[in-house]
Structure 1
Amino acid sequence: MTPTLQHPTTAQRVVASYPSYAAAEHAVDYLSDHQFPVEHVAIVGRGLHSYEQITGRLTWARAAGYQAIGGAILGAVFGWILGLFDLVNPLVSGALLALNGAIVGAVIGAILGGVAHALAGGRRDFASVSAFRADSYDLLVDDTHAEQAAHLLSASGQSVER
């Protein structure tokens, strides 16, 4: 069962602020290692900024390749399902249908990827990865546990900004 994010019912306050998420995560790990009830802690990014790292130029071949991979996976899954339920021919195995589906899906995906790239007319002809960055990461702790967390973090020798 996956835990769900819930809004705190009690007031929280900032116990520490860190320049990176990894540093804030390290502080929570430290608290956890010292039997602090970390279910009362939240890491909040302040000053969020959208960040997009350009990974390269998107050529016709690269666009077709990306779509061919996606089409091959989709075609393989579709072919496997047809084989699994014997929907095509009971004598044809699911693996063979998955292989044929992957080939057909790759060809169709490559054609559609190339056409989409050509129709874009040079707009957005690069590949990128998007993310969010924060200026700082605050450790918020429920008021009832904030003093204990602050004391533990101060004793750890970690740089703690308030």
Structure 2
Amino acid sequence: MTQQQPGAGGRPVVASYATYEDAQRAVDLLSDQKFPVEHTAIIGSDLRMVETVLGRLTRGRAALAGLAAGAWFGLLIGLLLSIFAADADDVAVLMLSALFYGALFGAVFGFAGHLLSGSGRDFTSRSRIVAARYDVVVGEEWAEEARGLLAGHTGEHA
């Protein structure tokens, strides 16, 4: 009997995995076996947000992050303005000036932004969405073939 996945168009689950990478490997295995993977989907269930704290955010780190972001922005502006430069020396001056001023203003705004925010958030972090389980689903007409191809593959099969 095939398991139905709500919200997946009634397509049967042919395998379930603990990690997204394992589900990707299963679909890749199907692809390697010339299975019509355009009828396949990976569906994450029981989603949760995981925020990993990377470190303490000080005024110095906020200024440094602003400096880096401002430098990239200044470099982009300098590149765009260099289109209108008369000669190569003007291009170099434009690029360096834009890089310098972008970094300077970025550092000032990063520092000021952190200073004005008070102590609301004194850490840096990275967020991502993860699922408790990743189901590989296929169209009803290909379910048995997919199960057969994945039979030797590691993972919890439906």
Asked if TM exceeds 0.5, the reply is yes
Query: 1:149 and 2:153 equivalent?
Result: no
Matched, 1:123 2:115: no
Tell me if the contact between 1:76 and 1:97 (Cα under 8 Å) persists in the aligned partners: no
| Counterpart contact for 1:153–1:160, Cα < 8 Å | no
CA distance, structure 2, for counterparts of residue 157 and residue 39 of structure 1: 20
The answer for the alignment partner of 2:78 in structure 1 is 79
- Superposed displacement of residue 11, structure 1: 4.1
- The CA distance in 1 between the partners of 2:53 and 2:35, in whole Å, is 41
Between the aligned partners of 1:93 and 1:147, the Cα distance in structure 2 is: 67
Per the alignment, residue 49 of structure 1 pairs with 48
RMSD: 1.7
Asked if the contact 1:60–1:117 (Cα under 8 Å) also holds between the matched residues in 2, the reply is: yes
Kept in 1, the 8 Å contact 2:47–2:129? The answer is: yes
| Equivalent pair of 1:64/1:109 in contact (CA under 8 Å) | yes
Q: Give the corresponding residue for 1:4.
A: none
Give 1:65's aligned residue: 64
Moved over 4 A (4+): none
Q: Indicate whether 1:34 and 2:33 are aligned.
A: yes
* Aligned-residue offset at 1:157: 4.3
- Report the number of matched residues: 151
Whole-angstrom distance in 1 between the partners of 2:155 and 2:80: 55
What corresponds to 1:137 in structure 2? 134
Structure 2: gaps spanning 5 or more residues:
1-6
Q: Residue 108 of structure 1 corresponds to which residue in structure 2? A: 105
Aligned-partner Cα distance in 1 for 2:126–2:33: 37
1:14 aligns with 2:10: no
Q: Percent identity?
A: 40
Structure 1 match to 2:3: none
Shift of 1:93: 2.4
User: Partner residue of 2:155?
Assistant: 159
Distance 1:66 1:116 in 2: 11
Q: 2: CA distance between counterparts of 1:112 and 1:157?
A: 52
Is the partner of 2:74 in helix, strand or coil? helix
The aligned counterpart of 2:4 is none
Q: Secondary structure in 1 aligned to 2:121?
A: coil
Taking the aligned partners of 2:133 and 2:92, their CA distance within structure 1 comes to 51
Q: Which whole-Å CA distance do the structure 1 matches of 2:101 and 2:66 have between them?
A: 12
The answer to whether the Cα contact below 8 Å between 2:16 and 2:155 also exists between their aligned partners in 1 is no
TM-aligned CA deviation for residue 12 of structure 1: 1.3
1:29 shift after superposition: 1.2
* Counterpart residue type for residue 154 of structure 2: Q
User: Tell me, what secondary structure is at the counterpart of 1:137?
Assistant: strand
